[in-house]
Amino acid sequence: MTARTIRLGRTGVQVPVIGLGTWSFGGLNVNRGVSVGWAGHDDGQAQAALATAYELGLTHWDTADVYGNGRSERLIGTMWSSVPRSRIFLATKFGYHRGPAEHPYEPSFMRARLEESLRNLRTDVIDLYYLHHCDFGPQDRQLEGAVATARRFQKEGKVRWIGLSDWDARRIRRYADVVDPDVVQTYRNVVDDDYEASGLRRWVEDNDRGVVFFSPLRHGLLLGKYAAPVEFPEGDFRRNVTGFRDPETIRRMQQARQALIERFPNHREPVLHGLCGALLSGQKNACVLVGLRNPDQVRAAATIGEPLSAEEAAWVRARYVA
Ligand SMILES: NC(=O)c1ccc[n+]([C@@H]2O[C@H](COP(=O)([O-])OP(=O)(O)OC[C@H]3O[C@@H](n4cnc5c(N)ncnc54)[C@H](OP(=O)(O)O)[C@@H]3O)[C@@H](O)[C@H]2O)c1
């Protein structure tokens, strides 16, 4: 099976329309009192997921320096004896870890983070290096230096393409012209969707950039797989997402799941297909990053990636809104 690919905007790189997210590979994690990791991580399962992804053509892998404080990057770095590095489109990010620096986008600190990511990933080059957020400090004081430094990394051949990410599409849109990223990465699923209204979609299309949508399943909640509200342990990011604890949301997700199963009866993964296909509807240079923790989840994701029609996408969305 070969995954459908798209051209990632002006990079010209063809990537699978379904990317593999590895945030959960960092395991449980607490930062300044906030749960920012994932329960239930297992190194062996994660490595098996990566190996299966390679076999099935899911070769766009996304990580970040902060996922488990480097653990996710290091795990990917263990794969090169069985997966050719050149066959993987490898993306990582920097910007949340501050260390001794006054701001994480200070040029000398950016350099230290880059070198650490290269070491963790056991590679000479990062294909796509993202500024992880759009907070450039008071009066955007770090903006110019961060952009110049990222471009310097590119000239040195340590980074192929520059990305700009944020949970808020409006913030990416605000900084897009100045940062001039090759690829943008934003939060988007059928419930939380500011991509068009923020003007980011227009900017991406007018300027021929690549776009990557993250958390298409709202961290698993939209799949409707929970029979009852769930309380995640300390260190699991999902503690902060109230829907997981709300009986009414859980019930609505289950109903939506059933509706999608009935609407797409011939698809092996009707719910995944509906949730991700709705985001790909009408998009040219877009891919979706799904968090995949084990080989079964990878196999399921390898069956999806077809865009829905506009009518189908509107129907899917309507199943999820209150
Ligand atoms: N740039 C940023 O700021 C940013 C922010 C967030 C995420 N991201 C990236 O985007 C990726 C994806 O986002 P995400 O991890 O938040 O969430 P997601 O893709 O919305 O949900 C992923 C979770 O859903 C569950 N799942 C996936 N496939 C499944 C299947 N076939 N059956 C049942 N459960 C399944 C898994 O968790 P369980 O098995 O535990 O249920 C998995 O970890 C991240 O890994 C990361 O690479 C980037």
| pLDDT tens for each residue of 116-136 | 999 999 999 999 999 999 999
Check if 186 has its Cβ closer than 6 Å to any atom of ligand 1: no
- Mean pLDDT estimate for the chain: 97
Check if 52 has its Cβ closer than 6 Å to any atom of ligand 1: no
Question: Does 3 score more than 90 pLDDT?
Answer: no
Check if 291 has its Cβ closer than 6 Å to any atom of ligand 1: yes
How far is Cα 228 from Cα 226, in angstroms, rounded to an integer?
Answer: 6
CA nearest ligand 1 atom 45, residue: 21
> Taking residues 93-99, what's their average pLDDT?
93
How far is Cα 278 from Cα 1, in angstroms, rounded to an integer?
Answer: 22
Check if 233 has its Cβ closer than 6 Å to any atom of ligand 1: no
The H or E element spanning position 275 is helix 270-280
**Residue 322: per-residue pLDDT:** 74
DSSP conformational letter for 209: B
CA nearest ligand 1 atom 48, residue: 214
Q: Please give the number of the atom of ligand 1 that sits closest to the Cα of 237.
A: 16
Residue listed under structure tokens 């990933």? 121
Check if 274 has its Cβ closer than 6 Å to any atom of ligand 1: no
Structure confidence by residue, pLDDT tens digits, 147-184: 999 999 999 999 999 999 999 999 999 999 999 999 99
**Residue 2: per-residue pLDDT:** 59
Cβ pair 309, 274 in contact under 8 A: no
If phi > 0 it is left, if psi is from -120 to 50 it is alpha, else beta; for residue 90 that is beta
The share of the chain scoring above pLDDT 70, in percent, equals: 99
Handedness of CA 310, 214, 288, 11 (dihedral sign): positive
> Taking residues 1-21, what's their average pLDDT?
93
**Residue 286: per-residue pLDDT:** 98
The CATH number for 206's domain is: 3.20.20.100
| Phi/psi of residue 90, nearest 5 degrees | -105, 120
**Residue 1: per-residue pLDDT:** 53
CA distances from 266 to 93, 131, 203, 270, 300 (A): 38, 40, 36, 8, 14
Check if 59 has its Cβ closer than 6 Å to any atom of ligand 1: no
Nearest C-alpha neighbor of 294 from the set 51, 67, 37: 51
Check if 22 has its Cβ closer than 6 Å to any atom of ligand 1: yes
CA nearest ligand 1 atom 34, residue: 220
pLDDT interval class at 98 (50, 70, 90): confident
Structure confidence by residue, pLDDT tens digits, 36-91: 999 999 999 999 999 999 999 999 999 999 999 999 999 999 999 999 999 999 99
Range of the domain at 127: 5-320
The H or E element spanning position 130 is strand 126-131
Check if 27 has its Cβ closer than 6 Å to any atom of ligand 1: no
What's the CA-to-centroid distance between 94 and ligand 1, angstroms?
19
Check if 225 has its Cβ closer than 6 Å to any atom of ligand 1: yes
How far is Cα 111 from Cα 190, in angstroms, rounded to an integer?
Answer: 37
Q: Please give the number of the atom of ligand 1 that sits closest to the Cα of 290.
A: 19
What's the CA-to-centroid distance between 213 and ligand 1, angstroms?
11
Provide the number of structural domains found in the chain: 1
> Taking residues 210-233, what's their average pLDDT?
98
Residue listed under structure tokens 């300027």? 207
**Residue 187: per-residue pLDDT:** 98
**Residue 305: per-residue pLDDT:** 97
What's the CA-to-centroid distance between 293 and ligand 1, angstroms?
8
**Residue 92: per-residue pLDDT:** 99
